[in-house]
Amino acid sequence: MTTLTPVRAGVSLEALLAAKDSRAARQADWLAHYQHPVISLTLVTPGAVKDSIRYRNTMGVALQACDQLLWQNHWCVLDRQVLWLPTGAEALWCVEHPAVEIKAQCVEMEQTHPLGRLWDFDVFCPKEGQVGRHSLDLNTRRCLVCDEPAHGCARSRRHSVEDVVARVERLIDGWFARD
């Protein structure tokens, strides 16, 4: 199922927090209903604008990459949902496969695909909860601007939002201009 809303300008912090709560509720509902791991995909979209043609195209590439991963591994997909929201695109898959293996493959996509740094794949297990990078003995994500740990740069606001948005846009434009 796909739900589409028109492209909009910036969104408020309240709208972002409400979207995060709604996403968490959907994830919990899917885990309870299906009793199998859930993949949740969002994009790294710094700044107030969360829905743009650039971001929709980037999400399209991420959706295709994840669908291809699931198909290539012959993992049974029980359900799939894509939401095109003013607060940013979101996708869910319910997959009949061990969550740790799913997370490992999702991290591999994030680290190897040219747009992967802009993809945020979260994987949830119905028994263990969220499967994080630490459970795979992997380092945290790196900053888009300086390659230091992203959490530290974000917390200290080391880089301006404009610089981070410009880096994201260069990544996206570079991918789509490659041909």
Report the pLDDT value the prediction gives residue 157, as an integer from 0 to 100: 84
pLDDT in tens, the chain (179 residues): 554 544 556 889 899 999 999 999 999 999 999 999 999 999 999 989 999 999 999 999 999 999 999 999 999 999 999 999 999 999 999 999 999 999 999 999 999 999 999 999 999 999 999 998 766 656 677 788 887 887 788 788 888 889 999 999 999 999 999 75
- In angstroms, rounded to a whole number, what is the distance separating the alpha carbons of residues 95 and 79? 8
* Architecture field, domain 13-137: 2-Layer Sandwich (3.30)
Q: What per-residue confidence (pLDDT) applies to 137?
A: 59
Q: What pLDDT does 78 receive?
A: 98
CB 85 within 8 A of CB 5: yes
- What single DSSP character describes residue 52? -
Structural tokens at position 93: 């898959």
Question: What's the farthest any 2 CA atoms get from each other in the chain?
Answer: 44
Number of Cβ within 10 Å of residue 150's Cβ equals: 17
Instruction: Give the per-residue pLDDT at 148.
Output: 82
50: CB partners within 8 A, 6+ apart = 10, 11, 16, 85, 86, 87, 88
Give the pLDDT score at 136.
67
Give me the residue label for tokens 């959907």: 26
What CA–CA distance (Å, rounded) separates 177 from 123?
31
Of 122, 49, 45, the C-alpha closest to 86 is 49
Orientation of helix 99-112 relative to helix 53-72, angle to 10°:
130
Q: What is the DSSP letter of 129?
A: E
Domain range list for the chain? 13-137
Other Cβ atoms closer than 10 A to 111: 12
How far is residue 147 from each of residues 58, 133, 164, measured CA to CA in Å? 21, 17, 12
pLDDT of residue 68: 97
